[in-house]
Structures are given as structure tokens and as C-alpha cells.
Amino acid sequence: MPVVSPAQYTKMLEIAKREHYAFPAFNVTSTETANAVLLGLKTAKADGIIQISTGGAEFMSGLGVKSMAQGAIALADYVRFMAENYDVNIALHTDHCHPKYLETFVLPLIAETERRRALGQPNLYNAHMFDGSELPLAENIAKSLELLKRCAASDIILEVEIGVVGGEEDGHDTSHLGKEKLYTTPEDMVAVHQGLAPIGPYMLAATFGNVHGVYKPGNVVLKPSILRDGQAAIASACGGANSLLVFHGGSGSSLQEIHETLDYGVIKMNIDTDTQYAFTRAIADHMFKNYDGVLKVDGEVGNKKTYDPRPYMKKAEQNMADRVIRACSDLRCAGKALGRI
């Protein structure tokens, strides 16, 4: 199926929210990892989201280009072409654009969508994420509002973040910030909804103790009830409405915690660390088992069948696809592909 249209994506999100499941959003960095996501979603019979970060997009463009915008455009066009061969619905997102990267990442991508729409072509991406969590809340909302006005004009959903997701991702480290920043208040969620909802559809990554990367149980205390309380506050202040919520930094979360967030309106969960590991784990296994074949050691010539990248990249693709399948099960979207919507 093709990458979904704005109207189709809106329908996907509405159904997920109503039925208390979420779409996994897998960060990718290459055609190989994108293929792994497509394979996993197909096998799980689940719709889902492929997304790319600033660092992933720059990597995607290659060392000779090193352009976030060009890498993101290439990824979107590749996925759009390959998705036609799969019987699941795919949405395309960008992830975590901090203010300093707007001019080199999100804004050029919005401009590319505007250019394509003028030619009668589909949008490049379904949604973009602006991470203004490092800014004071009022400044974050003001910048988000500015971006949402432009996104809404092209039927693009804007994802925003308030509070701080701990840990490090793509070189952005928040470990120096206080732990109180890890927990969003209901008042902040209300302020965001009141500021953005009148303009157009948005997603909210509210923080409830989330941390990027891998952490051992007990190191971080998740409080999903923060999402419940925030949604109730929005409903009270805004005539019963509430937000489409996003779960960032979910690696290491228990299934119980994940399911609790789904009941509070989470319709998207970002997954990166776990799939990175699954992809690399299969390659490491191949290398350790075929050490004398992949290297020309002691005057030998190695074994072309083992240092040919295709065999170990296929293993990596399958291993990552298996982790994609598990994510779909965890988020209750396995077996719920909507078909042509």
C-alpha cells in the first residue's frame, strides 16, 4: 500500500485512540533498517510509522553529502516506493528536531512538501516533530504555534514535546537537567492544548519519567498517571477534549507501564534503542562465528561468502524485523492493519 494520505493518517490515529492501541514509530538510518521495519509490520499484520532523526537523516545522506534534509528526503522517497509492495499502512515522521536544527532539517522538509503539493504530488512526511523542551514553556508554545500554522496549511501534523526526556539521543544530552524536568504538569499540558488545538492537529510528547537509551530497572521511575491527570485537566478546561499522546524513551519499560499509557491516550510510541541493538546483534553474531572467514588473517584470503555484506545484512534485517513484531504485540496493534483506508 502507499504511504498514507493526511486524511488516512488522521483516521488511523482516531481508531487507535478509540481502541486503546498505539502505532510503533521506528527510527531508521538506512534502506536496510527501513526494510526491516516494513518486513516486521507486514509479518505482524500491523500498520506503523517509519521515522528519522536529525542524526539518522544526516547519516542516510552519506559521508559525501552529510545533509539532514537531503537524507530525510531520500528516506521518504525510498519508503514511499517500497511501501507499495506491502499490505500495511505506513506513515512517515521526523523525530526530535531541536531549535538549532530547524533551518537545516524540518523547515526545508516543509518547504519540499509545499513544492510537491503545488505540483499535485503527495506530502513528503505525515508529521514533523519540534522538540522545544529546552526552551521556557511560553517560548516553546510560541515557536510550536508558528510551526503548526505552516504545517496545518499543508495537512501536516506537528508533534511537540514539553518537559524533558532524560538520557542522550543523537548527541543531545539532558543529564545535566534536574529530575523534576522529567515530569510534565497538568497545567503545562492544558497550556499546550489551549495554544495549539485551535490551529490544527498536533501530538504531544509529555514526560512522565521517560529516558532515552537503555536503563536498568529502578534507575528511572515512570509515572504514567501524569498522562491520566493531564488528560483530565485538558478535558476539564477545554470542553472534554484531550491530546494525542506520544511515548518517548520507552526502552526498558514494563509491559504493564506501556499498557497503562495506552489507556490514557498514547497513540504512538517511539522505538530506536531496542531495534538498533537487534540489528547490530545479528551482525556481531555473524562476525564472531565467522572470524577467520570475514578477515584475511595469517596470510589467508578469508571466505568471500562470509565477508559479502549481504548474508549478514539479511540476518540483521530479520533480527530487527523480529523486534518490530514484538513491539506491535506490546502496543496492541498486531493483527489490526486497517487495509486500504
DSSP string, 215-235: --TTSS---THHHHHHHHHHH
Structure confidence at residue 179 (pLDDT): 53
Point out the residues of the chain with pLDDT beneath 50. Answer: 166-168, 172-178
Structure confidence at residue 173 (pLDDT): 44
Structure confidence at residue 1 (pLDDT): 83
Which amino acid appears at position 194 of this protein? Answer: Q
Structure confidence at residue 213 (pLDDT): 57
User: DSSP code of 163?
Assistant: S
Entry pTM: 0.93
User: Collapsing DSSP states into helix, strand and coil, what is residue 104?
Assistant: coil
Q: Are 52 and 27 in contact (CB under 8 A)?
A: yes
Give the catalytic positions in this structure. 95
Compute the radius of gyration of the chain from its Cα atoms: 20
- Residues composing the chain: 341
6-330 homologous superfamily: Aldolase class I (3.20.20.70)
Nearest to 270 by CA among 68, 5, 25, 81: 25
